[in-house]
Amino acid sequence: MTTGHDTAAAAPSKEGGAAPGRPPGDPAAADKERRRRARLSRRWQRDVRWSPYAFVSPFFLLFVAFGLFPLIYTGWASLHKVELTAPTDMDWVGLRNYTRIFDDEFFWNAAQNTLTIGIISTVPQLLMAMGLAHILNYKLRASTFYRVAMLAPYATSIAAASLVFVLLFGRDYGMINWALGLVGVDNIDWQNETWASQVAVSTIVIWRWTGYNALIYLAAMQAIPQDLYESAALDGANRWQQFFHVTLPSLRPTILFTCVVSTIGASQLFGEPLLFDANKGASGGSQHQFQTLGLYLYEQGWVNQHLGRASAIAWTMFLILILIGIVNYVISRRLRASS
C-alpha cells in the first residue's frame, strides 16, 4: 500500500533540502524560507493533532446536548418535587422519589409486566428468527424477496401495526376471536385479561422484530466457511447435526448480541402497550395488566405531570439496564471461557 513517492510528495518539507529555483548564498532569503517551512510544519502538526477532534466533535456536542445534559438534568429533577406545569419551581425532596419507589405497587407491577412480556416476546422471537434464518440460508428461489418480506414488519410504524393488532384482537368483532370461535374456543377478552393481554402485546413485538433478528442471524450464517459444512458432511453429519454442531457454535457471538439488544428493547417496551390500550390512556389496561415500566414512566411524567417522580423512575430504569448489562457481560465471559 505504502508507495514511496506518495509520502515524498506529501511531506511538507525537508530541513536543509535544496530549494530549487533560488540563488544560493542569500542568507536572508534562506532564513525566511526556513521560517516559512517551520511555520507550515507547525501548522501541519497542529492540524494532524487537532483535526480529528474537530471531525468527531459533532457527535460529542450532540451527545452532550441530547444525551448527557438530559441525563444530568433528569437526575437533578429526580431529587425534587417538580410538576410539568411549572418545571422551574423545584422543591428539594432528597431521595424521597427513590424511596417511594420501593413501596410503589404500580412500579413493581410494571416491572413484573415488563419482565414477563420481555420473556414471552424475546424467547419465541429469537427461536423463530433462528429457524427462519436457517431456512433462508438454503438455496431458495426468490430468496431476496423473502428477505425483504421478512424486514417489512420492521419497516412498518409501530402505530400502524398496533392499530391493526387492536382490531385483530378485539373481543367482540376481532378476527382472532372469530377464528378461535370456529374451533369452539369462547371469546377471549384480549385487552382485559392479564395473560391474554400480555400475550397479545408480545405478539406485536414478535411480529415486528422476528424478521430483523432473522436477517442478523442470516448474515452471520453466511459468514460461516462452507468447508466446515463439507467436512461435517464427510463425517456423516446430517442437516440437523450440522445445524447444532457447526451453525450454532459459530453463531454464539451473534446470538449474544441479539439477546442483549432484545433485552434492552424489551425493557424499554412502550409503543405497543400504549397503543394496545382500549382506554387510550397510559395505564396499560384498566387494571394496569400490561403497563410496562416505559409506560408507567410516561404516565407519571406526561399524563400526571409529576416530572420529579418520572425522573426518578427513569433513573431507576437506567440502573436496572446497567445491571442487566453487567449480567450479560458476565454470562458472555463465562461462555467465552467455556468454549
Partner 1 sequence: MRASTRIRRKAVVLAAVASLGTGLLAGCADDGKNESPSGDGDAAGKTTITLGLFGTFGFKEAGLYDEYMKLNPDVVIKENVVERNENYYPALINHLTTNSGLMDIQGVEVGNIAEIVSTQSDKLLDLSKYGKKSDYLEWKWQQATTPDGQTVGLGTDVGPMAVCYRKDLFEQAGLPTDREEVAKLWAGDWKKFVDVGRDYQKKAPKGTTFMDSPGGLINAILSSETERFYDSSGKVVYKQNPAVKAAFDLTAEAAEDGLVGNQTQFQPAWDTTIANSKFAAMSCPPWMLGYIKGKSKPEAKGKWDVAQAPKSGNWGGSFLAVPKSGKNAEEAAKLAAWLTAPEQQAKLFKVQGSFPSTPAAYTMPEVTGAKNDMTGDAPIGEIFAQAAKNAPVQVIGPKDQIIQQGLTDNGVILVAQGKSPEEAWENAVKTIDNNLDQ
The site for partner 1 (CB under 8 A) is made up of: 83-88, 104-106, 166-167, 170-173, 189, 192, 278-281, 283, 286-288, 299, 302-306, 309
Give the C-alpha separation, 43 to 49, whole Å.
10
Give the C-alpha separation, 150 to 143, whole Å.
11
Q: Compute the least distance from the CB of residue 17 to partner 1, in Å.
A: 37
Tell me whether residue 40 or residue 95 sits nearer to partner 1 (CB atom): 95
Give the C-alpha separation, 294 to 121, whole Å.
16
Half-sphere exposure of 139 (CA within 13 A, CB side): 0
Q: Compute the least distance from the CB of residue 116 to partner 1, in Å.
A: 20
In the structure grid, which three cell numbers stand for residue 93, read together? 425532596
* Contact assessment for residue 313 and residue 297, using Cβ atoms and an 8 Å cutoff: yes
Give the C-alpha separation, 63 to 59, whole Å.
6
Tell me whether residue 262 or residue 289 sits nearer to partner 1 (CB atom): 289
Q: How does DSSP classify residue 83?
A: B
3-class SS at 306? strand
Tell me whether residue 57 or residue 287 sits nearer to partner 1 (CB atom): 287
With a CB cutoff of 8 Å and minimum separation 6, the contacts of 274 are: 162, 282, 295, 298
Q: Compute the least distance from the CB of residue 224 to partner 1, in Å.
A: 31
Q: Compute the least distance from the CB of residue 171 to partner 1, in Å.
A: 7
Q: Compute the least distance from the CB of residue 243 to partner 1, in Å.
A: 39
Strand partners, 81: 91
Tell me whether residue 3 or residue 88 sits nearer to partner 1 (CB atom): 88
Tell me whether residue 118 or residue 174 sits nearer to partner 1 (CB atom): 174
Q: Compute the least distance from the CB of residue 101 to partner 1, in Å.
A: 12
Phi, psi (rounded to 5 degrees) for 304: -90, -10
Query: What is the chain's Cα-based Rg?
Result: 30
Give the C-alpha separation, 91 to 308, whole Å.
10
Tell me whether residue 218 or residue 299 sits nearer to partner 1 (CB atom): 299
Strand partners, 83: 306
Q: Compute the least distance from the CB of residue 186 to partner 1, in Å.
A: 14
* Contact assessment for residue 246 and residue 229, using Cβ atoms and an 8 Å cutoff: yes
Phi, psi (rounded to 5 degrees) for 83: -110, 150
Tell me whether residue 135 or residue 167 sits nearer to partner 1 (CB atom): 167
Q: Compute the least distance from the CB of residue 286 to partner 1, in Å.
A: 5
Tell me whether residue 86 or residue 327 sits nearer to partner 1 (CB atom): 86
